[in-house]
Structures are given as C-alpha cells and as structure tokens.
Amino acid sequence: MNYSHLGRTGLKVGRIALGTMNFGELTDEAASLRIMDTALDAGINLFDTADVYGGPQSPDMAKGYGTSEEIVGRWLAQDQSRRDKIVLATKVYQPMGTGPNDKYLSAYRIRRACEASLKRLRTDHIDLYQMHHIDRATPWEEIWQAMEQLIREGKITYVGSSNFAGWDIALAQCTAASRNLLGLASEQSLYNLTARTVEQLLENLKALELKLPDETLAKLDEIWPGPGGEAPQAYAW
C-alpha cells in the first residue's frame, strides 16, 4: 500500500480508502465484515462511511439509514485493537429524519449527527468528520464553531469535505484560517473503493498500478464529458 498525507495534515493514509456505502443494502453484514478484514490485511487504513449509508441513495430520499455505520461499529467491537489501526471517517449533511433540522449543516444538526454517529460506530471519537455536501444556507462561522466544539471535546480530530468544488474548499479554508483551524482534509486525492465483495476489493486494489497515457485520458474526456453544469453541484443531491 502507498501512503500519503491527507490534505494539508500530517496524517498518513493509504492512497486507497475503503468505502462502505454498500454495507447493509447491497452487501450483507457477513460479507461486509470479511471485506473489512481483507482491507485491513491489505494495508488499507482509511475506512470511509457516512451516517446516511446503508440503504438506497436516491435524490428523493426522505431520511437516511445508519446501517453502514452500525456494521462498522460491530466490526470494531469484535476486536478493540482494530480501532487504533484505522483512520475512521464518516460524514454529515444528508437527511437522517423527516424533521426540518434533520439534515444539512446547522450547528444544531452537526452536534446531534456526530453524537448519533459515535453511538452507531461504537467509538468515542471520529478521526475525520466530513461535510458530505456544501450547505449554502448556513454561515461558515456557524459550521466552524460547531466543529471547533467537537474538536475541543475530543469527539472529532480532523474536519473534511466531500463533493466540494475547488472554490468551495478555498472559501472554507479562508474562514478556517481566520479561526486558527487546520482547515479541510479533503479526500479528493484518494481512491475510495465501494466494494460489494472481497473479490471486488482485491481486484480494485490494483488501481494504484494503473497508469493511463495522456492521449487515453483525453479520449475518455471526449467520450464522456460529464453531466453538464457546475461540478460538483451537477452530481449533488
């Protein structure tokens, strides 16, 4: 496994992360546990989940599931030594209930979402707490105040972003710097694998060995230019 720094932090993680979005819906618990065992044995140390993972991910979803976090939590509970061998990442933003404050990034939501994730993951801290999407309705000062409080309480170590455009990250970095925070630990430089089976995980581990020539990459961009519209908003829910 090749390791590199996560964003601008001193934390080292494998260039391949284990994504767990399929755990609970497409991959049952027994297979999920085997996948995590295999990933750890292969040197993968970044395990990435989200509060919303574990059920169908659709634009019209009314609430999330929490199943993926629960499966990861039960895997960690099987062997307490595993917790210190991985960098545990999860996310907040998507709806986890049908109430008006059961989604997005208000301080009210962040506090309750973090506490709920900690319970499902059966741990006392989250190593990387990521904003799943950008929330344009909540001021950055409010978001950072909530994150700072969680850091002071030892419940999270790093704050990260997922599905942010470059200009969104820059804006967040500016407000973070004004509050003397380290800023965002973005996962965009990593390969995040949403493996459904152990065999698929082992096959996907070869991704780091693949080097496509520039002309091939250019042709791929020509064949599939993307969905149109601003990224990542065009991909977001």
The domain total for the chain is 1
Domain span at residue 193?
Answer: 3-211
Q: Does some domain include residue 202?
A: yes
Q: Is residue 193 part of a domain?
A: yes
pLDDT on residue 30:
97
What mean pLDDT is predicted for residues 176-194? 63
**Residue 83, pLDDT score:** 98
**pTM of the predicted model, to two decimals?**
0.86
pLDDT value, residue 216: 92
Residues, the chain: 237
Q: Higher-confidence residue: 31 or 230?
A: 31
Number of H helices, E strands in the chain: 7, 8
pLDDT at 185 over 70: no
Give the pLDDT band (50/70/90) at residue 237.
very low
Domain-embedded: residue 230:
no
For position 51, which CATH number holds?
Answer: 3.20.20.100
For residue 3, the number of C-alpha atoms closer than 13 Å in the C-beta half-sphere is 11
pLDDT tops 60 at residue 194: yes
Structural contact between residues 78 and 29, judged by C-beta atoms closer than 8 angstroms: no
AA letter at 183? G
Burial class (CB in 10 A: 0-12, 13-18, 19+), 59: exposed
pLDDT of residue 227: 61
In a domain? residue 118: yes
Average pLDDT over residues 66-80: 98
CA–CA gap between residue 117 and residue 155 (Å, rounded) = 10
Confidence at residue 226, expressed as pLDDT on a 0 to 100 scale: 65
Within a domain: 222? no
pLDDT at residue 130, rounded to an integer = 96
Looking only at the bridges linking them, the beta strands covering 16-19 and 156-161 are: unpaired
CB contact burial 73-110 (16+ within 10 A = b; e otherwise):
bebbeeeeebbeebbbbbbbbbbbeeeeebbbbbbebb
CA distances for 229 relative to 93, 232, 235, angstroms:
22, 9, 9
Q: Is residue 217 part of a domain?
A: no
The mean pLDDT of 21-41, rounded to a whole number, is: 96
In angstroms, how far is the first alpha carbon of the chain from the final one? Answer: 33
Split at pLDDT 50, 70, 90, the class of 182 is: low
- Residue of 163, 217, 200 lying closest to 18 (CA atoms): 200
Q: Is residue 221 part of a domain?
A: no
Calpha distance 162→19 (Å, rounded): 13
Distance, in Å, from the CA atom of 160 to the CA atom of 212, rounded to the nearest integer, reads 29
Residue 142 has pLDDT above 80, yes or no: yes
- Residue-wise pLDDT tens digits, 149-162: 999 999 999 999 98
27 within a domain of the structure (yes/no): yes
* pLDDT at residue 232 tops 60: no
DSSP code, position 127: E
Write the pLDDT tens digit of every residue in 103-126. 999 999 999 999 999 999 999 999
The catalytic residues are: 53
CA-CA distance, 86 to 14, in Å (whole number)?
10
Query: What average pLDDT does range 192-203 have in this prediction?
Result: 86
